[in-house]
Structure 1
Amino acid sequence: MKHTKAAVVTAILSLALALVGAPAQAATKPFWTPDAMRAAVPMDSLVAAPKITPKDVAKGPSAVIRSIPNGGGAWTGGGKVTQTAGRVFFLFNGQKASCSGDAVTSANGSVVVTAGHCVKYQGTWHTQWVFVPGYNNGNAPYGQWAAKTTLTTPQWEAGEDINYDVGMAVVSPLNSQRLTDVVGAQGIAFNQPKNQNMYTFGYPAASPYDGTKLIYCSGSTFTDFLLTKDHGMNCNMTGGSSGGPWFLSFNEATGTGVQASVNSFGYNFLPGYMFGPYFGADAQNLYNRAQAA
């Protein structure tokens, strides 16, 4: 039953998976040129998902969702988030695709947090994976950071259970510097209370967005009452935003917060809402593996 539920939710992902690119530093022309990054598409553009209606899923309590966000707007507040958040590029079965990610504090100074489907999907680990912090319309102001390893939770790796759609990458040094020494880092926390106010960021690349700008939503969150135990928020981000950070205690003036989830999926019969996995013990174990790698 667990695998069936995960398969149904995966089939209705409306926030895209995204994949990355090639070594950031090479003597020859880099794989992820500005044109290649602009050409990368959200993963949901590459996977034909069947149409699912509310009648096809288990019925949850008839709850009224109340969430009043500032949503779907370009982030103009500046601050550290404009450096720590970025786009993720990779190849999924040979196709150029994109997600979002965020640099967090870590012992090795090299951890990027993203969604599980942004490192592995349908049994395939993505290749040519790079993180581009502060991405700006094909430009990489802080460089391209190639992953030396990508990881995910045991539940996502084994059965792509949407409740554990968390991925992380450990990136190699660039010009002899570590990632967070260059762009800074956001905090990260686990096992936090649910139903709090949060901010979420990402680089949606599916219409009406084009992946060129950092977009955000903010407001109260609720707990999904349909198929998952995920956080939910009223937010109209689209494919490509997957893997972007959800923050608690976000300070608009400094652009800093404590990351406690990532953009994961949306139901196709519930437009305007986005969901992200709860960062519990399994996400914490993943983080400990990543920062020790």
Structure 2
Amino acid sequence: MTRARRYGPTLGLLLVLAVAGCAQAPATTGAPPVDGTPSAGTAPSSPTGDRIGTLFVGGEHGSRACTASVVDSPRRNLLVTAAHCVQHPLFGRLDDLVFAPGYRNGQLPYGSWRVSQVVVDQRWTERADPEYDVAFLTVEPVGGREIADVLGGFRLGTDQGFGLPVSVTGYPNEAEEPITCSNRTSEQSSTQERFDCHGYTDGTSGSPWLTAAGEVVGVIGGYQEGGDTERTSYSITFDHRVSELYRRATA
């Protein structure tokens, strides 16, 4: 692994020095789908599209890092993103993370929501295992309301296999609006999947892979920490690994 393509500048500089060469490439199976074509600024408007937003490091005026989204949870306060966006074995958890749902053109239509807890698998914490590159984040209430009370949350979808039609919305750091692209997932390995579409550059790690039913079935991360080029993205397969982590995050 030789890049920090999906990170914001602060996190990427630190982590790429620490984890270069950490991942082994899983075998690719089958032919990838034809590349999709992204559209800028076409994420669905409130409330569904605004469940997706950007993570800032050091407060809402800090560096943009990755993308995250709101997921259903009993306490109505949970996000999902990639583990490499928020935690690393050498540097620990990133401090002062805030989430800005629906961010566009410097505007925060729903304010900023401070991250109070990060839950990642121990195998990620100890050795940055790309098979566990997913994280659940708890955010603090704002004005006495939990984030899912304001925006709702996407359902978590697990054990749905490969070849799913999904839409992926993410926030490239060089853009002031998100991009969205739709395509089918394909099998990268038995535990990793891929999504082919141009434009998913720095800042798009953690972008949710959404089905038409509104279920999150992946996030950009996993193999190559989400991808070594802007045209192919990866996610760990959402299976028992993610179900167990969600159970811990909501316990």
Instruction: Give the TM-score range, shorter chain.
Output: 0.7 to 0.9
1:77 and 1:171, CA in 2 relative to 1: closer, same or farther beyond 3 A? Answer: closer
Q: Distance in 2 between matches of 1:132 and 1:165?
A: 22
After superposition, the CA RMSD in angstroms is 2.8
Q: Cα distance, 1:89 vs. partner? A: 1.3
* Number of residue equivalences: 241
Residues 144-293 of structure 1: pairs in structure 2 closer than 5 A: 144-205=112-173, 209-210=174-175, 212-225=176-189, 229-236=191-198, 237-250=200-213, 257-264=214-221, 265-268=225-228, 271-292=230-251
1:109 and 1:278, CA in 2 relative to 1: closer, same or farther beyond 3 A? Answer: same
- In percent, how many aligned pairs have the same letter? 24
1:72–1:216 Cα contact (<8 Å) kept: yes
2:54–2:64 Cα contact (<8 Å) kept: no
- List 4+ stretches of structure 1 deviating above 3 A: 41-50, 56-64, 265-268
2:114–2:139 Cα contact (<8 Å) kept: yes
Q: Cα distance, 1:160 vs. partner? A: 0.8
Partner of 1:78: 45
1:114–1:244 Cα contact (<8 Å) kept: yes
The superposition leaves residues 130-164 of structure 1 with CA deviations (integer Å, 9 ceiling, x where unpaired) of: 11111122221111111121111222112111121
Larger Rg: 1
Q: Supply the AA of the counterpart residue of 1:177.
A: R
Q: TM-score of the superposition, structure 1-length normalised?
A: 0.73
Q: Cα distance, 1:129 vs. partner? A: 1.1
1:110 and 1:191, CA in 2 relative to 1: closer, same or farther beyond 3 A? Answer: same
Q: TM-score of the superposition, structure 2-length normalised?
A: 0.84
Matched, 1:15 2:25: no
Could you tell me which runs of 5 or more consecutive residues in structure 2 were left unpaired when the two chains were aligned.
Answer: none
Could you tell me which runs of 5 or more consecutive residues in structure 1 were left unpaired when the two chains were aligned.
Answer: 1-7, 19-40, 251-256
2:48–2:151 Cα contact (<8 Å) kept: no
1:224 and 1:72, CA in 2 relative to 1: closer, same or farther beyond 3 A? Answer: farther
